[in-house]
Chains A and B, each alone.
Chain A
């Protein structure tokens, strides 16, 4: 009974550490992932049905969609079975490593022993050469060569000569384990992040303060502090609509006091109390015209600039003149065609423009569009200036919010995997034995060596030594 039970455990163990199991998992993860890249994840059903009908025809598509939704393919990277594949893959990685570790550890710890000539001739790298002179005269030369290869050698005296042997880079055999371990560390870090951290978002209008963010549409998450968006700005390349930079000026408040001020851009987030705010999107507040403030600098041809903060519909006067202006229209993305028809081409502040009616001494004079991005439109016909700086308070900044206590674990994993890969691929465990045998006033040099990786590099070094020895002999003739 006891015996049978053990064989089952053994069988399961053997299955888990088999390369077949790893291959099956590789294939399962890859094939399901491919399906996941074709179907839009968390997408609209209609989009996915369209993709499916392109691939399989319209009659099959709705059925295929129903099946793939049942199986979780529309949000597959979060499905229980995909997580299970990843877990099994980690298990396989751990077990395979553990299974081989004792053997590798023995190879590392095994002390080098002198070998006889027959054994040397069985090694994967071997060279032989006969040189004039007694072994004693060559002894130091060989030692010097080994030292040049950064090998410190041990030495034994045999019946009719010497043997030097040495090894280097024993621990390079551990590189692959460091790599495997760091993959696990990264996965553990990711799990910590999912379990103890959160992901959320916050659309924060200019000038407003929030003490919480949204985890989902219904679920709020209290921050424990307040965050305020001072202002938001998009810069464009030249006069194009291609954004150059999005920037939000944020302030963190604790108990009503400002504790941190920072402007963030896409690659430069803000972190406070372990919670990070990323610039992710932006947009116009619906029906925000009433809450917005126009920021103008106005001046007559001679006078200094005056700063004005105005609201939609407000009237203002240009200093030292009897000219007044009234804000009567606004367009976030102003466009004028060749016939002079004006329109708004986007619901974003691509090209903000304000229409102002100008009057002199209460009598209507003219109307004009003033564009924020075109300073040429700021100058009135008689030299007065109305500089349009911003329409503040009508945009919101879209922030991606994250708390991830596992982040540093993941980064440690990243660091370790770099070290592990370097050791695994660019260092090797090298062993060399050099035997000097006396043969009638000559010396037979027999070299045997092994390297677990990059054998040819080591071979070349040994060949260099051999050719130097043989040249020396010619020179000595």
Chain B
């Protein structure tokens, strides 16, 4: 058995679990919930074995020893590890808070990411390492960064749920914030989906972004299609704004209290922040110091991690020092994760720099 089989199994398990979690949310049948959890755990075990198998395959292929062969060296492997961390974090929360409702939020993210890998041309091959990546710091730096990214993803989803639950009027600032965030992500995802369908291309993500992104919609040579795209985007935004309160009544069914959401948001960040500082920034600096002779060179990846770090530092100081609670701080948590996404994907795909190897 090779790792690919187990990766496939885990993707299928997460998709199946997603359907079950949503069914559970709609009908509240205990058996469905238990089945959903069981399948998620099975998917998680399968994914764990896959990661370890790939680790072994990598070590055999490169002959560099176990420590330097962690399968965390390209976009595909990092996305898989991110999903793994996310599911782990979710399972911990499910057991700790005895609440399955988040499953309907988290498993779609996991499935979407794994589906994204399959649809786009992200290379799944085990690729040999460029000399700069051959270091014992790789394992600590990358695992800790992605662990932190996953905690930030959790805090973002609970933060968004908090905003959905507490914003009851359509003219509130927080209501505008979450509907616009939601609307933009939705429109971007749909536009990317249309690009994929229209051009049927499977190319590297950076090539995709440079040559195909939004070419079927906003950047289409035809002015008519351009106008239609913008009109559609605005209509979607307005529809989400108009009917956003429906989502409020759905989230209400989750049986979660706003206090609990606020607490999970804070706890995730309180765990993620020190791990990110140490593993992402400090270990990254030590590694750069050894490899290039500079611990900080203001390249885009470093700069964006610093911006992310500032935002979460701001969250923590606002909460612990000023005692901020509620919507204000939930918005900061969501904004923080937007910065995380840009640090992780945007920098590799849109900006260039020393970290350009991450785009394979």
Chain A interface residues (CB < 8 Å from chain B): 19, 22-23, 26, 29-30, 33-34, 36-38, 41, 77, 190, 199, 237, 240, 242-246, 265-269, 276, 278-280, 400-402, 407, 410-411, 414, 417-418, 421-422, 424-426, 456
Contacts and interface: CB of A to CB of B under 8 A. Distances in A.
28 contacts: A23-B314, A26-B313, A26-B314, A30-B307, A30-B310, A33-B298, A34-B303, A34-B307, A37-B347, A37-B351, A77-B298, A199-B294, A244-B131, A246-B131, A266-B131, A266-B134, A269-B290, A276-B293, A278-B292, A411-B286, A414-B282, A414-B286, A417-B278, A417-B282, A418-B278, A421-B273, A422-B274, A425-B274
B351 A38 contact: yes
A410 B281 CA distance: 13
Contacts of B314: 23, 26
B90 to A, nearest CB: 19
B321 A267 contact: no
A37 B304 contact: yes
A209 B304 CA distance: 41
A227 B310 CA distance: 43
Contacts of A424: 274
A86 to B, nearest CB: 11
A267 B351 contact: no
B322 interface: yes
A37 B131 contact: no
Interface residues of B, number: 41
Nearest to A411: B286
A243 B134 contact: no
Chain B at the A interface: mostly helix, strand, loop or mixed? helix
Contact of A37 (B128, B282, B303): B303
Given A37-B347, A410-B295, A242 B130 contact: yes
B137 to A, nearest CB: 8
B166 interface: no
Contacts of A244: 128, 131
A373 to B, nearest CB: 16
A237 B310 contact: no
B310 A267 contact: no
Contacts of A456: 263
B131 A36 contact: no
Contact of A29 (B310, B347, B353): B310
B132 A237 contact: no
A276 B295 CA distance: 14
Contact of B293 (A38, A190, A402, A425): A402
Contacts of B248: none
B345 to A, nearest CB: 14
B130 A19 contact: no
Given A29-B310, A421-B278, A425-B273, 12 more contacts: A30-B307, A37-B303, A38-B351, A246-B131, A266-B131, A267-B290, A410-B295, A417-B278, A417-B282, A418-B278, A421-B277, A425-B270
Contact of A267 (B270, B291, B306): B291
A26 B310 contact: yes
Nearest to A455: B263
A245 B134 contact: yes
Contacts of A29: 310
Nearest to A78: B298
Contacts of B353: 37
Nearest to A242: B128
A267 B282 contact: no
A449 to B, nearest CB: 18
A278 B303 contact: no
B226 to A, nearest CB: 16
B168 interface: no
B334 interface: no
Interface in B249-292: 263, 270-271, 273-274, 277-278, 282, 285-286, 289-292
A41 B351 CA distance: 12
A28 B290 CA distance: 31
Given A37-B304, A37-B347, A418-B282, A190 B134 contact: no
Nearest to A407: B289
B222 interface: no
B292 A400 contact: yes
A414 B128 CA distance: 31
A265 B318 CA distance: 45
A269 B293 contact: yes
A203 B337 CA distance: 43
B277 A280 contact: no
Q: Which of B270, B286, B289, B317 has the most CB of A within 10 A?
A: B289
A400 B294 CA distance: 10
A400 B293 contact: yes
A14 B219 CA distance: 50
B128 A237 contact: yes
Contacts of B277: 417, 421
Nearest to B283: A414
Contacts of B294: 199, 402
B135 interface: yes
Given A417-B278, A418-B278, A278 B285 contact: no
B326 interface: no
B296 interface: yes
B108 interface: no
Interface in B299-339: 300, 303-304, 306-307, 310-311, 313-314, 317-318, 321-322
Given A30-B307, A33-B306, A243 B130 contact: yes
A240 B303 CA distance: 34
